[in-house]
Structure formats: C-alpha cells, structure tokens
Amino acid sequence: MTPAVVVRVEATFAETELRDLAAQLRLEEVGQENGRKNQPPSDNTAPDPVERQLVALIQHRMSRIRAEYEKAAYSLETAGLKAEVDACRSRIHDMTEEALIGLRAQARASRDEVFLRLQAARMCRQEMETFRKQNGLERNAQPIRSHAARVFVLGVLVIIEGVFNGSLFQRGLWGGLRRASR
C-alpha cells in the first residue's frame, strides 16, 4: 500500500519574482533603448537577445524545478518502498510466529509419542531381562566372528555335497554299465 501523495503546484515565477527578474535583466532600460533604435524590426521573426535571455532563464528555472520534483518523487517512492518493506517484514514476522506455534505443537505431540515409545522399549528390555534370568542366560547371542570358522563351515558343506553327489553318480554309472552289458 503506497502512501497518498499530495502535490502542491506552483507557478514557475511568483509575482514578486517577475519584478526582480525584470530589474535583473534591465528589461525597461533595454526595451526603451531598443525602442529608440527601432530594434528589432517589426518583420523580424527571430528572438532578440532579451527574449533569448528570458528563454534561457526560464529553461534554467524549469530544470531546477524538475530536479527538485524528481528528488521529491524519489523520496516519496523511497517512502513507499520503505512502507512496503515494513509491511513485508511484519507479514514475515507473523508467519514466523505462526510457524513457531505450529512447531511447538508438533514438538509436544512428538514428545508424547517419544515418551510412549521409550516406555515400550523399556518394557521390552524388562521382558528380555526376565526371560534371560528364567532361562539362566548370562550373555547375549553373538554371531561367529572369525573367518576361519566360516571357511571351516563352508568347507564341511562342500565335502558333504561332494560325497553325496559322488554316491549318486556311482549308482548311475553302475546301473548304466549293467544294462549296457546285457
């Protein structure tokens, strides 16, 4: 939301400034002198030196007023942007507060769930301790850790399979030889 802008419109030259300007440019003296010399001629369309001085002075005043206007417009635009930034900052602050409230509510709910799961884990641990005591177990079960034991078990399995396959092949060979000899 941009602030309302009130612009005060002023004339380029105030009434009192016109008298000072005429005195500064000596318009009455130059006009009387040019009138005596009958200059500029009545059919002349080009501006005379006094007119050029007036145009230059007006253009200078207009450029100064334009610069002041642009400076005022920039400051108003900056104020509008500052107001917009403040509004965005306020919205972000409100959103942050809402997010924190939501996170706190989730944390409370999660905390309750964590406590329930912790209680269930403690009950499971108690049941395991009771089972170990009832069955006289003193240590936890541990997998075989040495490579030699794994290789030994694998080797025994390969030997058993080899003996079994050999006996099957032997029967098959003798049965085939008997039939072939008949």
Most confident region among 39-43, 57-61, 78-82, 129-133 by mean pLDDT:
129-133
Of 163 and 54, the one with more pLDDT: 163
Amino acid found at 156:
V
Is pLDDT at 90 greater than 80 in this prediction? yes
Checking if the pLDDT of 19 tops 50, the result is yes
Angle at CA of residue 10, ends 9 and 12, nearest 5°: 130
Enumerate the domain spans of the chain: 15-137
Query: Which of 29-33, 63-67, 77-81, 127-131 tops mean pLDDT?
Result: 127-131
- Report the pLDDT value the prediction gives residue 155, as an integer from 0 to 100: 95
Q: What is the CA radius of gyration of the chain?
A: 54
Q: Residue 60: which of 25, 28, 36 has the closest Cα?
A: 25
For the segment 132-153, what is each residue's pLDDT rounded down to a tens digit?
888 888 877 776 677 888 889 8
Whether 47 shows a pLDDT value over 90: the answer reads no
Confidence of residue 159 (pLDDT cuts 50, 70, 90): very high
pLDDT on residue 173: 66
* Phi–psi pair at 91, nearest 5 degrees: -65, -40
pLDDT on residue 7: 47
Q: Is 2 left (phi over 0), alpha (psi -120 to 50) or beta?
A: beta
* Distance between CA atoms of residues 52 and 58, nearest Å: 10
Burial code of 133-143, b = ≥16 C-beta within 10 A, e = fewer?
Answer: eeeeeeeeeee
Query: Hey, which of 47-61, 127-141, 151-165 has the most confident mean pLDDT?
Result: 151-165
Residue 39: pLDDT above 80?
Answer: no
Rounded Cα distance between 72 and 61, Å, is 16
> Alpha helix (H) ranges present in 135-146?
none
Give the pLDDT score at 122. Answer: 93
Distances, alpha carbon 21 to alpha carbons 27, 47, 54, 61, 180, in Å: 9, 18, 9, 12, 142
Give the Cα separation of 165 and 181 in Å (integer): 24
C-alpha distances in Å from residue 99, one per residue of 42, 87, 93, 95, 109: 82, 18, 10, 6, 15
Residue-level pLDDT at 86: 84
Residue 4 pLDDT > 60: no
